[in-house]
Amino acid sequence: MPPKRPSKANEETPSRRNEEPNKDEREDSKAKIPPELIAKLVKNFLEDEGTKVSGAATKTVGEYMHLFLTEAVYRAVSNRRDGDPWAKTTNSGLMLEVEDLEKIAPQLLLDF
Amino acid sequence: MSADDTEQERLKSALWYHVGKLVDEACLDLNVNATPQFIGSLTELAWVQFDNIAKDLENFAKHANRSTVSTADVLLLARKNPDLHGLLQKAVDEEAAERAAKSAGKSKR
């Protein structure tokens, strides 16, 4: 049985790689949530108006969320590979669905 | 109230966009694809996580009699996960070294 979308997966990889440099000029290839957005999001959820967040702390929260999100994707993929032996042979064409996230979410939240 | 709601929606859209970019990058490395629904749900998860950690950070700072959240508070978030703590500690150290190098360069000139 062939992967669901083999041609699409193979086509998209090189074209997206070419886009990468112009897509993100600030950081060298590593996609990051901008610190300004992190600061706004944290501020949005604070209960006390007087609480401030230092610049270094904002950057560290950014790193924390980056790890959280990347870990979610990696866990979803590794969970799919273990659960589905057919996917073990070929990784390409694997589509991550909401159910994949549902399966790894409880442990992910406990670990973060 | 409705003005606040639109602000929330705008923040969530901004988060959605960046979560999408992050997921795309991770998917490229793994040679997989993610459905838009996956990205949407992950955004929702990150949104709730932001709510949790913001309140934790605020209380950590208060407990230390500070009104400003510092990197020490963020490190305290990872107290139950030594691997995560190590990674965050590395990020904090790099940031501090960068800052020190910048201020040293400034004072020389």
Nearest alpha-carbon partner for B8 in B68, B16, A64? B16
Q: Chain B, 29-48: which have a CB under 8 Å from a chain A CB? A: 30-35, 37-38, 41-42, 45-46
Average pLDDT value for residue range A40-56? 93
Q: Encoding tokens for residue A102? A: 């549902």
Nearest alpha-carbon partner for A31 in B39, B75, B89? B39
Report the CATH number at residue A21.
Answer: 1.10.20
**ipTM surpassing 0.85, yes or no?**
yes
> Does A91 map to a domain?
yes
Range of the domain at A54: 6-111
The share of chain B scoring above pLDDT 70, in percent, equals 97
To the nearest 10°, the Cα dihedral for B89, A64, A58, B98?
40
Q: Chain B, 57-86: which have a CB under 8 Å from a chain A CB? A: 57-58, 61-62, 67-71, 73-75, 77-78, 81, 84
Lowest-pLDDT choice from A21-30, A79-88, A94-103: A21-30
Per-residue model confidence (pLDDT) at position A80:
86
SS3 A96: strand
> Does A1 map to a domain?
no
A44 CB burial (10 A radius; 0-12, 13-18, 19+): middle
The total number of structural domains that make up chain A: 1
CB contact under 8 A, A68 and B49: yes
Residue A43 falls in which region: left (phi positive, over 0), alpha (psi -120 to 50) or beta: alpha
SS3 B77: helix
> Does A60 map to a domain?
yes
HSE, CB side, 13 Å, CA atoms: give it for residue A77: 21
